[in-house]
Chain A
Amino acid sequence: MIPDKYMELINQEIDGTNSSARSAELGEYMKEHPEALRCFDELNELTRSFSQMGAVDPPAELRALILSRIAESAAERSLAVEAVATPPPSAMSSVGV
């Protein structure tokens, strides 16, 4: 069982956020505790695999779909604004306009 403190140091080492003093402290600990070194290697390998997965390209048609939905939404919005700005004649007569 690796103490929480060293699990945190292992994870921060993988993320590159340990200070040099913390890195050295972890290095010393791993020299004496092979299970900690093994854990570090395994997690490090896992995170390296993520970076090798890279980014996926979105389908070519996606941008057009987004922009078309936005255009529809904008058109609906401007219709709604127009409707508010020009109330129907019956509404005007009911308020004595």
Chain B
Amino acid sequence: MEKDSDSNLVMKCAHGDKKSFEALVERYEKPIYNIAYRVMNNGEDAMDITQNIFMKAYQKIDTFDTSRKFFSWLYRIAVNESINYSKLKHLTQEIGKDKEFAGKSPNPEESCAESEIHGYLQDAIEALDFKYKTAIVLKHFHGLSYKEMSDILEIPEKTVKSRLFTGRQLLKNILIERGYAK
């Protein structure tokens, strides 16, 4: 049986069909979790953020413009929610009210010795400023085009390219500084 398009599911959901939203969750749970995971470098945070993203999407589904791509809209919520969560987390850590937050949950990749380099890379991504980090994550972990990134981030394609190119250069510098690259 042919799968419902995103637009169909969104329309059904806006008319109160909860099953349609479940289908959207099933379809986008993994990519959305991966955005949060790559941006935060922490599985627990990614879990929280992913839940918040889908809650926001559900609450605002009737404001979605069906002439646009659903995934762009959802990814935009994901980026904004990750930024907000990250700011809140830093603030919480700074005022020292929640020391437990500072600890990272076990990273599935860290348990595997052969993935050590991936751990270095993920740590380097984490060190980037948010605007570069999101550009790297959307391009390299989600394979989006400059145009799609421009829609999601609501910035001109030229700025997308500039952030992506600078982000890569900064990453390279971080890896060199940390002795992981020549």
- A residues near B (Cβ < 8 Å) are 7-8, 11-12, 14-15, 17, 42-43, 46-47, 49-53, 55-59, 62-63, 65-67, 69-71, 73-74
A42 to B34, CA, bound (A): 25
Residue contacts A-B, CB under 8 angstroms, 22 given: A14-B168, A15-B139, A15-B164, A42-B172, A46-B168, A46-B175, A46-B181, A47-B140, A47-B168, A56-B108, A58-B46, A58-B47, A62-B33, A62-B50, A62-B51, A66-B55, A67-B22, A69-B55, A70-B18, A70-B58, A73-B55, A73-B58
The A contact surface, by secondary structure, is helix
A66 to B99, CA, bound (A): 26
The B contact surface, by secondary structure, is helix
Looking at A58, A67, A73, the one whose CB has the most chain B CB atoms below 10 A away is A58
A46 to B55, CA, bound (A): 35
Q: Is B30 an interface residue (CB 8 A)?
A: yes
Residue numbers in A under 8 Å from B37 (CB-CB): 56
Q: Is B101 an interface residue (CB 8 A)?
A: no
